[in-house]
Chains A and B, each alone.
Chain A
Protein backbone atom coordinates (compact mmCIF):
# COMPACT_ATOMS: atom_id res chain seq x y z
CA UNK A 1 0.00 0.00 0.00
CA UNK A 2 1.67 3.18 -1.14
CA UNK A 3 -0.64 5.33 0.97
CA UNK A 4 -0.11 3.35 4.18
CA UNK A 5 0.14 5.55 7.23
CA UNK A 6 3.54 5.37 8.92
CA UNK A 7 4.12 7.15 12.20
CA UNK A 8 7.56 7.14 13.75
CA UNK A 9 7.98 5.45 17.12
CA UNK A 10 8.54 7.52 20.26
CA UNK A 11 12.00 6.68 21.66
CA UNK A 12 13.30 7.76 25.05
CA UNK A 13 16.46 6.84 26.94
CA UNK A 14 17.31 7.49 30.56
CA UNK A 15 20.28 6.25 32.61
CA UNK A 16 19.84 5.37 36.24
CA UNK A 17 22.36 4.76 38.97
CA UNK A 18 21.65 1.14 39.93
CA UNK A 19 22.05 -2.40 38.59
CA UNK A 20 19.75 -3.77 35.90
CA UNK A 21 17.78 -5.96 38.32
CA UNK A 22 16.95 -3.01 40.55
CA UNK A 23 16.10 -0.76 37.61
CA UNK A 24 13.68 -3.43 36.34
CA UNK A 25 12.16 -4.04 39.77
CA UNK A 26 11.55 -0.36 40.46
CA UNK A 27 10.08 0.22 37.00
CA UNK A 28 7.55 -2.59 37.40
CA UNK A 29 6.90 -3.88 40.93
CA UNK A 30 7.53 -0.50 42.57
CA UNK A 31 6.00 1.79 39.95
CA UNK A 32 3.77 3.36 42.61
CA UNK A 33 6.92 4.86 44.21
CA UNK A 34 7.68 7.08 41.23
CA UNK A 35 4.90 7.19 38.61
CA UNK A 36 3.22 10.64 38.65
CA UNK A 37 -0.25 9.27 39.38
CA UNK A 38 -1.59 12.70 40.34
CA UNK A 39 -1.54 13.66 36.68
CA UNK A 40 -0.84 10.54 34.61
CA UNK A 41 -3.42 7.98 35.63
CA UNK A 42 -7.09 7.13 35.36
CA UNK A 43 -7.99 7.87 38.98
CA UNK A 44 -5.88 10.99 39.22
CA UNK A 45 -5.09 11.78 42.83
CA UNK A 46 -6.70 8.56 44.07
CA UNK A 47 -4.29 5.86 42.89
CA UNK A 48 -3.35 3.40 45.63
CA UNK A 49 -1.34 0.82 43.66
CA UNK A 50 0.08 0.06 40.23
CA UNK A 51 0.15 -3.65 39.46
CA UNK A 52 2.30 -5.41 36.86
CA UNK A 53 1.14 -9.03 36.62
CA UNK A 54 4.53 -10.62 36.07
CA UNK A 55 3.85 -12.93 33.16
CA UNK A 56 3.11 -12.92 29.48
CA UNK A 57 -0.61 -12.25 29.12
CA UNK A 58 -0.71 -10.52 32.50
CA UNK A 59 -2.37 -7.18 33.01
CA UNK A 60 -0.92 -3.85 34.04
CA UNK A 61 -3.43 -1.77 35.95
CA UNK A 62 -3.92 0.81 38.64
CA UNK A 63 -6.12 0.46 41.70
CA UNK A 64 -7.94 3.47 43.08
CA UNK A 65 -8.39 4.18 46.77
CA UNK A 66 -12.02 3.02 46.28
CA UNK A 67 -10.76 -0.34 44.98
CA UNK A 68 -11.65 0.36 41.36
CA UNK A 69 -9.38 -1.01 38.70
CA UNK A 70 -8.14 1.01 35.75
CA UNK A 71 -6.61 -0.93 32.88
CA UNK A 72 -3.30 0.24 31.42
CA UNK A 73 -1.85 -2.57 29.31
CA UNK A 74 -1.44 -6.28 28.66
CA UNK A 75 1.99 -7.89 29.04
CA UNK A 76 3.20 -9.16 25.67
CA UNK A 77 6.74 -10.09 26.78
CA UNK A 78 8.02 -10.44 30.34
CA UNK A 79 11.78 -11.02 30.37
CA UNK A 80 13.19 -9.82 33.69
CA UNK A 81 15.52 -8.04 34.10
CA UNK A 82 16.16 -7.19 30.46
CA UNK A 83 12.94 -6.37 28.70
CA UNK A 84 9.20 -5.95 28.82
CA UNK A 85 6.75 -5.38 26.00
CA UNK A 86 3.26 -4.09 26.73
CA UNK A 87 0.16 -3.83 24.55
CA UNK A 88 -0.81 -0.34 25.66
CA UNK A 89 -4.48 0.61 25.67
CA UNK A 90 -5.13 2.66 28.76
CA UNK A 91 -8.71 2.66 30.08
CA UNK A 92 -9.98 0.04 27.65
CA UNK A 93 -8.60 -3.49 27.43
CA UNK A 94 -10.77 -4.13 24.38
CA UNK A 95 -9.51 -1.15 22.41
CA UNK A 96 -6.82 -1.25 19.75
CA UNK A 97 -3.41 -1.07 21.37
CA UNK A 98 -0.08 0.56 20.69
CA UNK A 99 3.09 -1.19 21.87
CA UNK A 100 5.52 -0.09 24.58
CA UNK A 101 8.87 -1.86 24.83
CA UNK A 102 11.27 -1.13 27.69
CA UNK A 103 14.83 -2.48 27.66
CA UNK A 104 17.23 -2.45 30.59
CA UNK A 105 20.94 -2.65 29.73
CA UNK A 106 23.98 -2.48 32.01
CA UNK A 107 25.94 0.70 31.39
CA UNK A 108 29.04 1.04 33.57
CA UNK A 109 27.82 0.99 37.17
CA UNK A 110 24.34 1.97 36.13
CA UNK A 111 21.56 0.91 33.79
CA UNK A 112 20.44 2.38 30.53
CA UNK A 113 16.69 2.24 30.06
CA UNK A 114 15.39 2.50 26.51
CA UNK A 115 11.67 2.96 25.97
CA UNK A 116 10.09 2.64 22.56
CA UNK A 117 6.40 3.38 22.06
CA UNK A 118 5.30 2.31 18.58
CA UNK A 119 2.44 1.05 16.49
CA UNK A 120 0.56 4.36 16.31
CA UNK A 121 -0.82 3.36 12.94
CA UNK A 122 -3.26 1.06 14.77
CA UNK A 123 -5.07 4.14 16.07
CA UNK A 124 -5.66 5.48 12.55
CA UNK A 125 -6.53 9.17 12.56
CA UNK A 126 -5.99 9.48 16.33
CA UNK A 127 -2.45 8.08 16.08
CA UNK A 128 -0.56 11.27 15.30
CA UNK A 129 -2.22 13.26 18.06
CA UNK A 130 -1.71 10.54 20.66
CA UNK A 131 1.88 10.12 19.59
CA UNK A 132 2.49 13.83 20.19
CA UNK A 133 0.96 13.58 23.66
CA UNK A 134 3.05 10.57 24.60
CA UNK A 135 6.20 12.12 23.14
CA UNK A 136 6.10 14.81 25.83
CA UNK A 137 4.32 12.54 28.32
CA UNK A 138 7.08 9.94 28.46
CA UNK A 139 9.71 12.65 29.04
CA UNK A 140 7.69 13.80 32.01
CA UNK A 141 7.00 10.31 33.38
CA UNK A 142 10.52 8.95 32.88
CA UNK A 143 11.89 12.07 34.59
CA UNK A 144 10.22 10.84 37.78
CA UNK A 145 11.71 7.38 37.34
CA UNK A 146 15.18 8.87 36.80
CA UNK A 147 14.89 11.00 39.93
CA UNK A 148 13.57 8.08 41.97
CA UNK A 149 16.74 6.15 41.16
CA UNK A 150 18.89 9.33 41.17
Chain B
Protein backbone atom coordinates (compact mmCIF):
# COMPACT_ATOMS: atom_id res chain seq x y z
CA UNK B 1 0.00 0.00 0.00
CA UNK B 2 1.19 3.48 -0.77
CA UNK B 3 -0.31 6.29 1.26
CA UNK B 4 -0.97 8.62 -1.64
CA UNK B 5 -4.04 10.30 -0.24
CA UNK B 6 -3.27 13.23 2.07
CA UNK B 7 -5.29 11.79 4.94
CA UNK B 8 -3.60 8.40 4.70
CA UNK B 9 -0.23 10.10 4.55
CA UNK B 10 -0.98 12.06 7.71
CA UNK B 11 -2.18 8.94 9.50
CA UNK B 12 1.39 8.17 10.55
CA UNK B 13 2.50 10.08 13.66
CA UNK B 14 6.06 10.62 12.43
CA UNK B 15 4.75 12.03 9.15
CA UNK B 16 2.47 14.39 11.05
CA UNK B 17 5.52 15.64 12.94
CA UNK B 18 7.42 16.19 9.69
CA UNK B 19 4.40 18.00 8.25
CA UNK B 20 4.12 20.19 11.36
CA UNK B 21 7.81 21.09 11.28
CA UNK B 22 7.50 22.11 7.64
CA UNK B 23 4.66 24.47 8.57
CA UNK B 24 7.36 26.54 10.26
CA UNK B 25 9.31 26.80 7.03
CA UNK B 26 11.45 24.89 4.52
CA UNK B 27 13.97 22.41 5.93
CA UNK B 28 16.52 19.90 4.71
CA UNK B 29 16.39 16.18 5.53
CA UNK B 30 19.25 16.65 7.99
CA UNK B 31 17.52 19.50 9.80
CA UNK B 32 14.30 17.51 10.09
CA UNK B 33 16.19 14.43 11.35
CA UNK B 34 17.91 16.57 13.99
CA UNK B 35 14.52 17.60 15.37
CA UNK B 36 12.90 14.18 15.29
CA UNK B 37 13.68 10.89 17.04
CA UNK B 38 14.21 9.10 13.71
CA UNK B 39 17.12 8.65 11.29
CA UNK B 40 17.75 10.57 8.10
CA UNK B 41 16.73 7.63 5.88
CA UNK B 42 13.47 7.38 7.83
CA UNK B 43 12.85 11.10 7.33
CA UNK B 44 13.53 10.67 3.59
CA UNK B 45 11.03 7.83 3.41
CA UNK B 46 8.32 9.87 5.13
CA UNK B 47 9.05 12.90 2.93
CA UNK B 48 8.60 10.71 -0.15
CA UNK B 49 5.20 9.54 1.06
CA UNK B 50 4.15 13.12 1.88
CA UNK B 51 5.40 14.17 -1.55
CA UNK B 52 3.44 11.44 -3.34
CA UNK B 53 0.35 12.60 -1.44
CA UNK B 54 0.92 16.12 -2.78
CA UNK B 55 1.50 17.66 0.66
CA UNK B 56 5.21 18.37 0.35
CA UNK B 57 7.49 19.45 -2.44
CA UNK B 58 11.22 19.96 -2.69
CA UNK B 59 13.61 22.28 -4.46
CA UNK B 60 17.31 22.74 -4.76
CA UNK B 61 19.00 25.69 -3.14
CA UNK B 62 22.67 25.62 -4.08
CA UNK B 63 23.83 22.16 -3.02
CA UNK B 64 20.97 21.71 -0.55
CA UNK B 65 17.62 19.99 -1.08
CA UNK B 66 14.95 21.86 0.82
CA UNK B 67 11.53 20.41 1.57
CA UNK B 68 8.48 22.59 2.05
CA UNK B 69 4.72 22.32 2.16
CA UNK B 70 3.04 22.07 -1.23
CA UNK B 71 0.43 24.84 -1.21
CA UNK B 72 -1.85 23.19 -3.76
CA UNK B 73 -1.92 19.86 -1.91
CA UNK B 74 -2.58 21.54 1.41
CA UNK B 75 -5.37 23.58 -0.23
CA UNK B 76 -6.98 20.37 -1.47
CA UNK B 77 -6.86 18.94 2.02
CA UNK B 78 -8.39 22.11 3.38
CA UNK B 79 -11.09 22.05 0.70
CA UNK B 80 -11.93 18.50 1.73
CA UNK B 81 -12.28 19.49 5.38
CA UNK B 82 -14.30 22.60 4.43
CA UNK B 83 -16.56 20.48 2.22
CA UNK B 84 -17.09 18.10 5.10
CA UNK B 85 -17.95 21.00 7.38
CA UNK B 86 -20.37 22.60 4.87
CA UNK B 87 -22.11 19.25 4.53
CA UNK B 88 -22.34 18.86 8.31
CA UNK B 89 -23.79 22.35 8.70
CA UNK B 90 -26.30 21.76 5.91
CA UNK B 91 -27.46 18.55 7.57
CA UNK B 92 -27.70 20.26 10.93
CA UNK B 93 -29.78 23.05 9.40
CA UNK B 94 -32.06 20.54 7.68
CA UNK B 95 -32.48 18.61 10.92
CA UNK B 96 -33.17 21.81 12.85
CA UNK B 97 -35.74 22.96 10.25
CA UNK B 98 -37.53 19.62 10.35
CA UNK B 99 -37.67 19.72 14.11
CA UNK B 100 -38.96 23.30 13.97
CA UNK B 101 -41.81 22.28 11.65
CA UNK B 102 -42.75 19.37 13.91
CA UNK B 103 -43.16 21.42 17.06
**Chain A interface (Cβ within 8 Å of chain B)?**
39-44, 66-70, 90-92, 125
Q: Which residues of A contact B41 (CB under 8 A)?
A: 41-42, 90-91
Q: Is B3 an interface residue (CB 8 A)?
A: yes
A55 to chain B, nearest CB (A): 23
Which residue of chain B lies nearest to A129 when distances are taken between CB atoms in the complex? B30
Pick from A42, A92, A125: contact of B42, CB under 8 Å: A42
Does A66 lie within 8 Å of B12, measured CB to CB? yes
Interface, chain B (partner A; CB < 8 A):
1-3, 11-12, 38-39, 41-42, 44-45, 48-49, 63
Give the distance to chain A from B41, nearest Cβ to Cβ, in Å: 5
In the complex, 14 of the A-B residue pairs with CB atoms within 8 angstroms, ordered by the A residue number, are A39-B39, A42-B41, A42-B42, A42-B44, A43-B45, A44-B39, A44-B42, A67-B1, A69-B2, A70-B45, A91-B41, A91-B45, A91-B48, A92-B44
Closest to B12 in A: A66
| Docked complex Cα distance between A27 and B72 (Å) | 44
Contact between B3 and A68, CB atoms less than 8 A apart: yes
Specify which chain B residues have a CB less than 8 angstroms from the CB of A66 in the assembled complex: 1, 3, 11-12
Q: How far is the CA of A40 from the CA of B49 in the complex (A)?
A: 19
Smallest CB–CB gap between B35 and chain A, Å?
Answer: 15
The complex places the Cα of A51 from the Cα of B38 at a distance, in Å, of 22
Bound CA–CA A40/B39 (angstroms) = 8
CB-CB under 8 A from B49, the residues of chain A are 68
Measured CB to CB, the closest approach of chain A to B55, in angstroms, equals 15
Min CB gap A5→B, angstroms: 14
Nearest-CB distance from B8 to chain A (Å)? 9
With the chains together, A39 CA to B33 CA distance in Å?
13
**B1, B42, B45 pick with most chain A CB within 10 angstroms:** B45
Q: Are B39 and A125 in contact (CB under 8 A)?
A: no
